[in-house]
Structure 1
Amino acid sequence: MKWDPAKYVEFGDYRSRPFFDLTARIHADRPARVVDLGCGPGNLTATLAERWPGARVLGLDSSGEMLAKAASLAEEVPSLQFEQADIAAWMPAPDTDVVVSNAALQWVPGHQDLMRRWLEALRPGAWFAMQVPGNFNSPSHSLMRELAASGRWAAKLDGVLRGGESVGEPRDYLSILLDGGWAADAWETSYQQVLPGPDPVLEWVRGTALRPVVAALEEDDAKRFESEYAAALRDAYPQGAHGTVFPFRRIFAVGRKAR
């Protein structure tokens, strides 16, 4: 599945805010190694290098398109590095002090078991922080799944989209951290995002949730699917005087391993 970095950062302020709300809860002092799992175009990973200038900061992502965008950032900051990798196969190095995963684990089946292995492998005093979307049952996603399962699209899109099972609830991630011997905090936030322009929710999901559908269909079919989906979105998210309000729920968890 190909990613479009320009489309992904189109709503940059909205997509960045949960990252900063998440990382504000990390109270590491002078970490030696910081890892960002699912770093995307790297702009947010670069802020970790600014925050901890003495650390080696590594961003990992499976998308070559995203990493091509990130490459110029690494040229400017010697302590910043990006690598193409499947985070499902990653394990922390012994000197890893901070692990961040922002809006990436929802793409990884079985990521809660992965978390348990990462938490066990990290050294005492390390920090782990993750954030995933919690809106898989919102109209933006449920309408997409309903359309994909309808007569015209069912055969072509069978198994392409996942539902609410893609992520856990805050209590699930809290339990994983606590069971692993970590001091932990978990919470959720529903951002009331006011999006401008025509069909703004469609434009939003084009950068993320709609990518698997587009990848699975021929170009003409993808356009036809988008047209039908856009009509359903307009009913679910009507435009108001100030734009289109798009509630976006996010799930967060942060922990520190006991020394």
Structure 2
Amino acid sequence: MKEWQKALKARGWMKKNESFLSTWHAYVGNELNLFRMFEKPKTVREVVDETGLSEELLDCWVQIGAVVHHLRKRTGNRYRTSKKNCGEFLSSEGAGIGALLKEVMELHIPTLLSYPTYMTSNERAVFNHDRFGSVVAETSSLLENFAIKRIKRIVQEENTQTVVDLGCGYGGYLRKLTETFPTVDMVGVDLNEDVVAYARQLSKEYSNIQFEVGDASTWHPSTGEVDLVLIHNIFHYLDLTSRQQLLRHISKWISKDGKISVITPINDIDQSMAFPKVFNGFFTAHSNLHPLPTVEGIQEMAHEVGLTISKFQPIVREGGWYSYWLTPQQTDVPLEV
């Protein structure tokens, strides 16, 4: 390869990184609450006086923000947050988006950058549940908005009386269900005590929702059978054997006409999507996390436990998130993908 060809190739790789600047800028702005600081036009000096931040570095952040259209320049060297491009960071409603940026920048990218070390040493990262448990719970709640309609429809059609959410996070699914079905008894179970405490705080106005600290693989209801069980985004915390054991455990106390709602990223359901592959690479790089399930693995697991599996439905197709139902009755109906 000639020198000018190498220079052009290098230039091409550099240009591919431009899109990363917006993510980095938004992450820093959200972490330091800078978008709110610039909600009204201010100079860099004014924000420095209010926050004590480094003037030199803040000026760099502001200049980059103007280039990526997160900030708009006003008269007198003042800058204002673009409500069109970053308005979600101006209120608490943007917490989930901020958590997603934090998860990507502090958890996913550092893990992927360490791949050379992991590949040559055969070592693995360790997922810190105490540090990132709340962050993951926040980002997982973003999926609720895409999935809640299918769950509400089943609750209505099946006249569901009891719902259990295993790995409930902040309990968002249960609160959304309660808005439509206030008389249905609901229980959320999560292993993280801090997450459960916050879920209780958010749900204190809902008398039909209870939360318990517990391990999904051993927890069981105290009031008999359950009509609907939610297991959303927890398979990657379990190895293949534990996933099967979890489903077998649930089968012991779900009602004979009950349903299990599963939402999970699937590694191989759409080979054209890059993100599920990267997501799988992230989980595989951890000693206490596990590779994403595959279509074949899900089929075999349901068959072994004696559950019927429904057609896969996309929740966020580009991210590889899909949903499906499991029921205690086993039939020979072929699975559609």
> 278, 283, 290: which one pairs with 1:139?
278
Query: What is the rounded CA distance, in whole Å, between the counterparts of 1:189 and 1:138 in structure 2?
Result: 16
Give the corresponding residue for 1:201: none
Aligned residue for 2:234?
Answer: 104
Q: Which amino acid aligns with 1:46?
A: R
**Equivalent in the alignment of 1:114:** 246
Residue in structure 2 matched with residue 187 of structure 1 by the alignment: 312
- Say whether the 8 Å CA contact 1:137–1:163 is kept in structure 2: no
**Residue of structure 1 equivalent to 2:256:** 124
Within-5 A mapping of 1:137-176: 138-142=277-281, 159-164=287-292, 167-169=293-295, 171-174=296-299, 176=301
Q: Structure 1's 44 and 30: CA in aligned 2 closer, same or farther, altered over 3 A? A: same
Contact 2:217 2:245 in 1 (8 A): no
Name the SS for the 1:26 alignment partner: helix
Larger radius of gyration: 2
Note if contact 1:57-1:79 (Cα within 8 Å) is conserved in structure 2. Answer: yes
Structure 2 unaligned spans of 5+: 1-128, 268-274, 330-337
Partner of residue 37 from structure 1, selected from 166, 172, 194: 166
Q: Percent identity?
A: 19
- Tell me if structure 1 keeps the 8 A contact 2:163–2:229: yes
Q: Which structure has more helix as a fraction of its residues?
A: 2
Amino acid at match of 2:314: T
The runs of at least 4 consecutive aligned structure 1 residues that moved more than 6 Å come to none
Contact kept in structure 2, 1:5 and 1:69, CA below 8 Å = no
Residues 92, 118 of structure 1: 8 Å contact kept: no
Alignment partner of 1:19 out of 138, 141, 147: 147
- Tell me how large the CA RMSD over aligned residues is: 3.3
Task: Report the secondary structure of 1:40's partner residue.
Answer: coil
- Cα distance in 2, alignment partners of residues 143 and 98 from structure 1: 31
Decide whether aligned partners of structure 1 residues 24 and 177 sit closer, same or farther in structure 2, where only a CA change above 3 A counts: farther
TM-score, normalised relative to structure 2: 0.48
- Partner residue of 2:106? none
Q: Which has the higher contact order (CA 8 A, sep 6+)?
A: 1
The TM-score with structure 1 as length reference comes to 0.60
1:67 maps to 2:192:
no
- Segments of structure 1 that go 5 or more residues without pairing to the other structure are 149-156, 193-246
Distance 2:314 2:300 in 1: 19
Give the drift of 1:58.
Answer: 0.2
